[in-house]
């Protein structure tokens, strides 16, 4: 029997989505020889949703700030295959930076991420929650490739780089060179969540990045693997079975993929009916979801 090809949309090179997408594909392909997940670089979350709607890709990685409104639209036909990982948002600066707070960064050059990235939307949403405007209150820089950000921090072209998640390559690069992180303080977190209640309070554990000795509290959302409208139920079932049967291998291959579990998919979905019916059948089969 010929293997079933599944086209997976990720994001621009150098960011967390392509890294995750390759690990996802490797895990699924190794677990079920009848499936061939093929990652493809895209412009990121904001392009992935229309690509899914058009059927240009079968599944795609979509950050929460883009995924949630798309899922809330009954006409979109998009459904959740899996919850990827939570994405606590942070700024990273050089170790010798004078900046110690978000307020300190005002009027400075800040790289908010790649054009079309859901992380960029998250950053703008967090800043808006503080009553600020990313473009007016900062010298906002938008990247052609996510991988450009750490270099710009290192050579001083920007004072800070915005990003999110555990094991995010941009953060790892700057932290490995002695960088440190800036997150909203407790009062700022409350203000952000009051204005944008769809965001969640999230914790970055100590040791998540080089030199991070204490946990950090921030805000963020979950990212998802979404399926195009009409993605076959039996194929979604097989994909979920292969993915979650390979959870250990996936976690071993990529730090942030440790959150890609069947239990987290059920818990992170805004509503159970937004999970693909084929995936939901798998979750019922393993005793996680009710009948």
Give residue 54's pLDDT band: very low, low, confident or very high (50, 70, 90). very high
Surface-to-core class of residue 48, CB atoms within 10 Å of its CB (0-12 exposed, 13-18 middle, 19+ buried): buried
Domain 4-84+223-285 listed as CATH 3.40.190.10: yes
pLDDT classification of 14: cutoffs 50, 70, 90: confident
SS3 216: strand
Tens digit of pLDDT for each residue in 153-180?
999 999 999 999 888 889 999 999 999 9
Segment 8-34 shows an average pLDDT of 95
When the pLDDT of each residue in the chain is averaged and rounded to a whole number, the result is 94
Separation of alpha carbons 280 and 192, rounded Å? 33
- Predicted structure pTM score: 0.80
As a whole number of angstroms, the distance between CA 216 and CA 202 comes to: 9
Q: Of 197 and 181, which is predicted with more confidence?
A: 181
The mean pLDDT value for 108-128 works out to 91
Per cent of the chain over pLDDT 90 is 86
Mean of the pLDDT values across residues 132-158? 95
CATH 2.170.190.11 for domain 87-221, yes or no, is no
Per-residue model confidence (pLDDT) at position 1: 62
32-43 residue pLDDT tens? 999 999 999 999
Contact yes or no for 263/288 (Cβ under 8 A): yes
Instruction: Convert the pLDDT of each residue in 280-290 to its tens digit.
Output: 999 999 999 76
Residue 38 to residue 271: CA distance in whole angstroms: 28
Closest CA to 265 of 231, 233, 222: 222
Per-domain residue ranges for the chain? Answer: 4-84+223-285, 87-221
């Amino acid at each position: 029997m010929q293997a079933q090809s599944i086209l997976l949309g990720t994001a621009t090179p150098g960011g967390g989505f392509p890294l995750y997408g390759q690990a996802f594909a490797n895990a699924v392909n190794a677990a079920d020889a009848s499936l061939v997940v093929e990652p493809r670089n895209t412009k990121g979350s904001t392009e992935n949703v229309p690509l899914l709607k058009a059927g240009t890709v079968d599944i795609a990685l979509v950050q929460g700030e883009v995924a949630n409104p798309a899922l809330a639209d009954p006409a979109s036909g998009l459904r959740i295959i899996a919850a990827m990982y939570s994405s606590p948002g942070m700024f990273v600066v050089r170790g010798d930076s004078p900046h110690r707070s978000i307020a300190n960064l005002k009027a400075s050059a800040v790289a908010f991420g790649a054009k079309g990235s859901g992380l960029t939307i998250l950053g703008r949403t967090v800043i808006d929650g503080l009553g600020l405007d990313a473009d007016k209150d900062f010298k906002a820089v938008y990247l052609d490739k996510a991988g450009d950000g750490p270099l710009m921090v290192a050579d001083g072209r920007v004072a800070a780089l915005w990003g999110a998640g555990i094991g995010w390559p941009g953060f790892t690069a700057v932290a490995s060179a002695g960088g440190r992180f800036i997150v909203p303080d407790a009062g700022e977190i409350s203000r952000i969540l009051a204005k944008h209640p769809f965001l969640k309070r999230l914790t970055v554990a100590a040791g998540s990045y080089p030199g991070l000795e204490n946990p950090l509290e921030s805000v963020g959302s979950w990212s998802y693997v979404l399926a195009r409208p009409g993605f076959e139920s039996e194929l979604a079932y097989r994909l979920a079975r292969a993915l979650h049967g390979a959870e250990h291998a996936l976690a071993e291959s990529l730090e942030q993929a440790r959150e890609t579990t069947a239990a987290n998919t059920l818990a992170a979905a805004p509503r159970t009916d937004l999970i693909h019916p084929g995936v939901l059948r798998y979750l019922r089969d393993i005793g996680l979801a009710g009948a």
